[in-house]
């Protein structure tokens, strides 16, 4: 006769503080609120806490959250968190700190990817402690301590499509394992799938289905993303899933409009690829673009907005008050109103050899899959705006050195706080008044030739990876002849239409309304927009208010 099966162990919240009174107080407050579903474990020094973590690991237990005091004599809270990450890398990290140590806590955001810092005292916990831990537990459950994912990608770092597939899955929060085709495990998987590795990447799904160099649409459909709208008519169609589009979807659906958002690649847009956004209102610790995109996506879905991925809009048809959106698969969707929120795409670097090596050492943006492979490399970041600075800070955590190549100077285009962070990092070097003349390599990037614009002198350097952030441009050619665009392809709206032909109504256009009544624009794709995440979110929500006004008039 066998006894009952052992109950699964509760995940752990571990707190470490060298002050016994504080340690007991933290554990008491955590146990009071989370004791039913979590085991609260406390330690009074960093080394003791690490020993406990190793024991938990050996027993097969999981840790959801670390709460560590900053000032501890044997090992600081930052040093502890850095070591703890090696044992339980998915656990969320909180630093307890006094007001005087706030700057150290902010620095820790970049050193150990800190999720939050709490000022002592944290009373009342209902206002200052529990909301923070609740959010971190929710995020931990979303990524959690997972078993090895069943979806497998077999590819090669110098195969451009391999990098694209990895990034597509990562940005759409589809978990996978990566195997190099030239290593034993990858070769064994290729053999088992009956492939010779001549065509990469190869994707093997959880069900054992093999996809050879799949398109984004094939990946999305096979791995369970929603790729087609459920209906043929909507109150509001939002085109683009960046911050502006996600904000429009949230406000549209929450205010009773039947809303569908159509995104070509992944929600979050360019902002979703940012390693750290630190000047977004309400997030003093900063947050990653992926975190912002994920929270906004969940929020939109909570209000029953439909989010369609890997679907491309190719035309907008206007017939009186009817608006029809045409997709690349031939499907057409009718709608009462449209919000154009496609954002922008990275501008291509015209340097000699760049196009041939894109995806093989030359990258636009610093994707997580590529950035994770830059350990001990000497990398170059091209550009001087905030996106380049954020990438440089992120890459400097693991790269041997990061060189920022800037056409002018950092002060011309980068936020002051980010310049200060960059100049505090010993392994980041600035090269102002410099452009890329050419890149060289046989099958992958091996060298870079830089030209100093003030002297005309050229220098060559060994370089294995280069990340490009030289501005962006809209992809609005499919709207040619439909809405008015400026000379650079950005969409003109509101008062800016005053001196441009194309407006047909007696009333003036609403603030974000394009030359077609009922078609609005929000975010970076709008002419003269601010090109900031907060501005895009504001415009997305404002556009919905104007949609309501338009619908009330028709």
**Whether residue 161 sits in one domain with residue 138:** no
pLDDT at residue 4, rounded to an integer: 42
CA distances from 232 to 102, 144, 335 (A): 53, 37, 8
21 belongs to a structural domain: yes
In a domain, 489, yes or no: no
Q: Are residues 386 and 433 in the same domain?
A: yes
Last residue of a domain, one of 111, 143, 175: 143
Is residue 490 assigned to a domain?
no
Q: Are residues 248 and 272 in the same domain?
A: yes
Question: pLDDT-based confidence at 478, cuts 50/70/90?
Answer: very high
372 and 336 co-located in one domain: no
Residues 11-49 have pLDDT tens digits of 999 999 998 888 899 999 999 999 999 999 999 899 999
Q: Which CATH number belongs to the domain containing residue 163 in this structure?
A: 3.40.30
**Domain, as residue range, for 265:** 233-343+474-484+505-553
- 156 and 138 within one domain: no
Q: Is residue 493 part of a domain?
A: no
**Strands 210-212 and 202-204, how do they pair?**
antiparallel
The pLDDT tens digits of the residues spanning 288-326 come to 788 888 889 989 999 999 999 999 999 999 999 999 999
- 224 with 324: CB under 8 angstroms? no
User: Does 4 fall in a domain?
Assistant: no
One domain for residues 268 and 284: yes
Q: Which one of 84, 112, 143 terminates a domain?
A: 143
Which regions of 373-522 does DSSP assign to beta strands (E)?
Answer: 378-382, 401-405, 428-431, 434-440, 447-452, 458-462, 465-468, 472-473, 519-521
Identify whether residues 337 and 372 lie together within a single domain: no
* Helix residue ranges, H only, 172-315: 184-192, 216-222, 243-254, 289-302
Q: What is the mean pLDDT of the chain?
A: 89
Residue 494 lies in a domain: no
Same domain, 115 and 206: no
Q: Which of 152-156, 285-289, 342-346, 387-391 has the lowest mean pLDDT?
A: 285-289
Say if residue 87 is in the same domain as residue 195: no
CATH number of the domain enclosing 126:
3.40.50.2300
Rg (CA), the chain: 25
CATH of the domain at 425: 3.50.50.60
Total domains in the chain come to 4
Statement to judge: residues 380 and 413 lie in one domain:
yes
Residue 499 within a domain: no
Number of neighbouring beta carbons within 10 Å of residue 444? 16
Q: Are residues 388 and 456 in the same domain?
A: yes
359 shares its domain with 468: yes
End of a domain among 472, 497, 518?
472
This model's pTM is above 0.85:
no
* Residue at 497 is within a domain: no
φ, ψ for residue 245 (rounded to 5)? -65, -40
Spatial separation of the C-alpha atoms in residues 85 and 73, rounded to whole Å: 20
- Per-residue pLDDT of 520-549, as tens digits, reads 999 999 999 998 899 999 999 999 999 999
pLDDT of res. 107: 62
């Amino acid at each position: 006769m066998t006894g009952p099966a052992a109950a699964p162990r509760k995940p752990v919240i571990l707190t470490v503080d060298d002050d016994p009174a504080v340690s007991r107080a933290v554990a008491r407050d955590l146990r009071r609120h989370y004791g039913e579903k979590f085991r609260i474990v406390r330690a009074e020094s960093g080394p003791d806490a690490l020993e406990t973590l190793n024991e938990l690991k050996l027993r097969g237990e999981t840790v959801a959250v670390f709460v560590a005091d900053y000032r501890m004599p044997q090992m600081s809270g930052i040093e502890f968190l850095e070591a703890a990450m090696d044992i339980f890398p998915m656990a969320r990290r909180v630093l307890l700190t006094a007001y005087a140590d706030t700057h150290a806590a902010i620095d820790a955001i970049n050193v150990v990817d800190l999720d939050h810092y709490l000022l002592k005292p944290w009373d009342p916990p209902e206002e200052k402690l529990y909301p923070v831990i609740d959010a971190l537990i929710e995020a931990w459950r979303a990524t959690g301590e997972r078993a090895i994912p069943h979806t497998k990608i077999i590819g090669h770092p110098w195969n451009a499509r391999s990098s694209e597939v990895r990034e597509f899955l990562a940005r759409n929060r589809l978990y996978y394992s990566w195997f190099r085709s030239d290593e034993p495990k990858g070769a064994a998987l290729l053999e088992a799938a009956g492939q010779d590795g001549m065509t990469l990447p190869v994707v093997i799904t959880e069900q054992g289905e093999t996809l050879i160099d799949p398109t984004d649409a094939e990946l999305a459909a096979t791995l369970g993303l929603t790729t087609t709208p459920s209906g043929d008519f909507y109150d509001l169609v939002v085109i683009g899933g960046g911050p502006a589009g996600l904000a429009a979807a949230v406000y549209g659906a929450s205010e009773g409009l039947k809303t569908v958002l159509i995104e070509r690649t992944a929600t979050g847009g360019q902002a979703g690829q940012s390693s750290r956004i630190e000047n977004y209102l309400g997030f003093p610790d900063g947050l990653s673009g992926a975190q912002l995109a994920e929270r906004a996506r969940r929020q939109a879905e909570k209000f029953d907005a439909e989010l369609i991925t890997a679907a491309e809009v190719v035309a907008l048809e206007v017939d009186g008050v009817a608006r029809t959106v045409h997709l690349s698969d031939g499907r057409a969707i009718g709608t009462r109103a449209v919000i154009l929120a496609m954002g922008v795409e990275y501008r291509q670097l015209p340097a000699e050899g760049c196009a041939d090596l894109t995806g093989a050492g030359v990258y636009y943006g610093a994707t997580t899959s590529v950035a994770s492979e830059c350990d001990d490399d000497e990398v170059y970041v091209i550009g001087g705006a905030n996106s380049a600075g954020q990438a440089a800070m992120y890459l400097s955590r693991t790269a041997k050195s990061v060189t920022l190549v800037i056409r002018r100077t950092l002060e011309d285009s980068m936020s002051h706080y980010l310049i200060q962070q960059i100049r505090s990092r010993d392994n980041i070097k600035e090269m102002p008044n410099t452009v890329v003349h050419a890149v060289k390599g046989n099958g992958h990037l091996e060298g870079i030739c830089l030209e100093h614009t003030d002297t005309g002198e050229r220098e060559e350097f060994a370089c294995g990876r280069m990340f490009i952030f030289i501005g962006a441009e809209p992809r609005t050619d499919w709207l040619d002849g439909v809405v008015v665009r400026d000379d650079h392809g950005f969409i003109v709206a509101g008062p800016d239409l005053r001196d441009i032909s194309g407006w047909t109504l007696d009333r003036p256009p609403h603030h974000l309304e394009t030359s077609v009544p009922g078609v609005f624009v929000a975010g970076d794709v709008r002419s003269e927009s601010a090109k900031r995440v907060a501005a895009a979110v504001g415009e997305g929500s404002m556009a919905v208010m104007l949609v309501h006004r338009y619908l009330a008039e028709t």
